[in-house]
Structure formats: structure tokens, C-alpha cells
Amino acid sequence: MYGVLTDDRELAYADVGDQPHFFVEAVDGTRREPLEGAVNAVACWGDTEAIRADPALAAVAADGTRATPAARGQHWGTVCPSADDYREALLERIERVGSVGDVRLTTVGFPGASFCHCERCTRAFAESSFDDRETWRTDLITDFVASAADRVAGDLLVTLYPDPYPGHLRERTGIEPAALEPHVDGFVVPLCGVGYGTTYWVESLAHGFASELEAIAVPLTIQLSAADVDAERLAELTRQLESKADADGVVYGTHPDDADTVRETIRRLSVDESTLTA
Ligand SMILES: [Zn+2]
């Protein structure tokens, strides 16, 4: 499966590859109407606009740092996953998007290992049956994804932070891939770099995920960037990911200016396939 990931409606409908991924809700708070037939991507707790409108919604680190775009290591605002009203409204938006087609969730979970120590989370953890804060966080995120899956008729994909080292995802975000297996239809891992002057890190990380997810029966899609790269380099990188990391699909982050590169990349890969099956 090959496709583009874009926020451009025209490009999403341009039939580049098998199925487009379309940004419906972005981390800056932009919201668009979902596209029929696309995998519609919804930013979950990444929502700079929500934090700007209501600063009390921000996730808070153990040292008091708030998850805003200005904080070190944060590139956008992140809402606390315990904020019930935001969570409920988010699930309603996911349900609405899911009534149109498949849904991909991005920015699922906490924005770092030291989050969240806001009053909401401190109270919720104290009142929970968990002794261990990391286990409580993981339960909160698993429960959210299960609730989202209940509301989406089509496939539900979850984007994973690109760190396959055992335990790191759980520690960083609260995502436990094995716990999500009953609820999701795919994982997507973004491995984006401009031009791919080097590719060893893409292969290493993809291979790491293939090993880490080996026992989990959930298809893996790798997201690459089509910016400033030529089609043969992108096609060769895709071949490597398919053969060495067993990727089930590759989706290319594409601006309208890069559409021809992606079209040519997919053409080259299709030639490979027809040669193999001839
Ligand atoms: Zn919190």
C-alpha cells in the first residue's frame, strides 16, 4: 500500500497511490472537513489552539513545565489526557470523522516521560486502583484508544512516536502497543527527513519496530517525507523498508510541489512488482 499524506484536498483526490492520508485536525488546532475514502488524521492531545484558549488544559511536567510550543522539547501545545471535557469532545470529533472513513490518530498520549503532574492527574492517580504512575498512565491511554475504536466504523490507525526501544513508548507517551492490539487496525511510524542524505537511521528504526511489534498482529505503515528527494532514492528506501523491516505500507508526506516525485516513486515500485510477478 502506497499513498500520500497531505493537507491539500486536491492532491488527496489526485489518485497518487492507493489511499491518501489527509490531515483533518492538526496540532496547531486547524480543523478541516474529513475526506471520503481517505484515512483522515486527527491530532488528539496535540492542540496548540486549545492551550492558548484555555491555558489550564496544558499537560504539566513534574518540574512544573507546561506543554506549550515554547517549552524545551515541545513543538506544540499538548492538552492533559485527564481533562475530561476535552477528551469527550475529542471522542465526538473522532466519531464524526469516523462516520466518513478510516481514522488515523496522531499525538496519542502524554508529551513526555515527566508528564502529567497537573492537579487533575495527581487527583485521578490518587483515586485510582494503581500503585504505579506509569501503569496508570498506560491504562488511561489504552482506555482512550478503546473508546475511539468503539466510535469508528472503519479502520483505526494509531501513530507511534519513532522510538522502538523496548519500553520507551510506554515511558514517554503511555502507549503500550500490545495493549492496543485488540483495538487498532494499524500502526503508523513517521520517519521523516528532508532529502534522506543518509538512510541508515530510517532502516534501523523501522527494523527496530518490526522486531518490537513482531508478536503483535497489527500492520505497520512507515511514513516518509517526499521533500527535496529524488524518486529513485525514495523508491530504493521504500524497497529497503519492505524487505528489511517488513513494512506493510508506505505513506509519503507530500506537498503539491512534490506530487510528481511521489507519483514517479510509486511508478518505479509498481514496475518492480510487475517484474517480480511476471
Ligand atoms: Zn494532567
Residue 259's pLDDT is what? Answer: 96
Q: Looking at the domain assignment, is residue 127 inside a domain?
A: no
103 phi-psi bin (left φ>0, alpha ψ -120 to 50, beta other): beta
| Residue keyed to cell 499513498 | 3
pTM: 0.96
Q: Would residue 265 count as lying in a domain? A: yes
Distance 46 CA to ligand 1 centre (A): 14
CA of 91 to the centre of ligand 1 (A): 18
| pLDDT at position 246 | 84
Distances in Å between the alpha carbon of 244 and those of 4, 127, 204, 236?
Answer: 22, 46, 9, 12
Closest by CA to 159, choosing from 74, 78, 43, is: 43
Strand, coil or helix: what is 5? strand
With cell 529513485, the residue in question is 232
Ligand 1 mean position, distance from CA 118 (Å):
4
| Spacing, Cα 20 to ligand 1 middle (Å) | 34
Ligand 1 centroid distance, CA of 28 (Å): 20
Q: What mean pLDDT value characterizes the chain?
A: 95
**pLDDT of res. 277:** 67
- H-helix or E-strand containing 180? helix 177-180
Residue 192 has pLDDT above 90, yes or no: yes
Q: Taking a C-beta distance cutoff of 8 angstroms, is the pair 80, 101 a contact?
A: no
**Rounded distance from Cα 165 to ligand 1 centre (Å):** 25
- Give domain status of residue 126, yes or no: no
Residue 29 lies in a domain: yes
- Are 111 and 68 spatial neighbours (Cβ–Cβ below 8 Å)? no
252 Cα–ligand 1 center, Å: 33
Q: Indicate which CATH number applies to the domain containing 23.
A: 3.20.20.80
The fraction of the chain above a pLDDT of 90, given in percent, is 95
Q: Which pLDDT belongs to residue 154?
A: 95
Is residue 70 one of the residues assigned to a domain? no
Task: Count the domains in the chain.
Answer: 1
145: in domain: yes
Residue 79 lies in a domain: no
Residue 49, SS3 per DSSP: helix
Pick from 39, 263, 271, 1: nearest CA to 152 = 39
Q: How far is the CA of 207 from the centre of ligand 1 (A)?
A: 33
Give 126-159 pLDDT, tens digit per residue: 999 999 999 999 999 999 999 999 999 999 999 9
Residue type, 71: A
Angle between helices 84-98 and 133-151 (to 10 degrees): 30
Range of 32's domain?
2-54+84-111+135-277
Cα-to-centroid distance, 142 and ligand 1 (Å): 16
User: How large is the average pLDDT for residues 18-35?
Assistant: 96
